[in-house]
């Protein structure tokens, strides 16, 4: 048990500063969404060809959440960083996730954009 804790601490220590900022943004977004009543199902879902930051449940809806953090509006800010290619990878990852479910719930894609100190939650923003 102590060995696995050591490994977890070691892996956390070698993450880049950009990865640590991303982790903190995901944590901030997750706490905000949980405070609004959403239930966390999975964090950092990865599959070949895609990734989803947070998968949550909002009532009957399954919610795939992309979290973006930018310190400024330079280069378009957090929302502008979600390119069509990124949207395609998110949709692919959602399809992979849904293949493992017995029945398909209503789904939506949300974005949590953190711009400086401001958190913006946009619901149902990506269409497949």
pLDDT value, residue 13: 67
Class for the domain spanning 17-122: alpha beta
pLDDT tens for 39-72 read: 999 999 999 999 999 999 999 999 999 998 876 5
pLDDT class of 23 with cuts at 50, 70, 90? confident
Across 20-29, 32-41, 61-70, 74-83, the highest mean pLDDT is recorded for: 32-41
**Cα distance between the two ends of the chain:** 43
pLDDT tens for 78-107 read: 666 677 888 899 999 999 999 989 999 999
The domain ranges of the chain are: 17-122
Examine the pLDDT at 4 and tell me if it is beyond 90.
no
């Amino acid at each position: 048990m102590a060995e696995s804790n050591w490994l977890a601490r070691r892996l956390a220590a070698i993450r880049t500063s950009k990865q640590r900022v991303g982790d903190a943004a995901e944590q901030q977004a997750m706490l905000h969404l949980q405070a609004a009543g959403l239930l966390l199902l999975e964090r950092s879902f990865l599959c070949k060809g895609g990734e989803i930051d947070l998968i949550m449940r909002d009532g009957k809806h399954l919610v795939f959440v992309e979290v973006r953090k930018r310190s400024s509006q330079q280069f378009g800010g957090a929302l502008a960083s979600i390119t069509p290619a990124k949207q395609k990878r998110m949709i692919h990852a959602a399809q992979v996730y849904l293949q493992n479910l017995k029945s398909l719930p209503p789904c939506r894609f949300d974005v949590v954009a953190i711009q400086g100190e401001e958190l913006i939650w946009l619901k149902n923003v990506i269409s497949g």
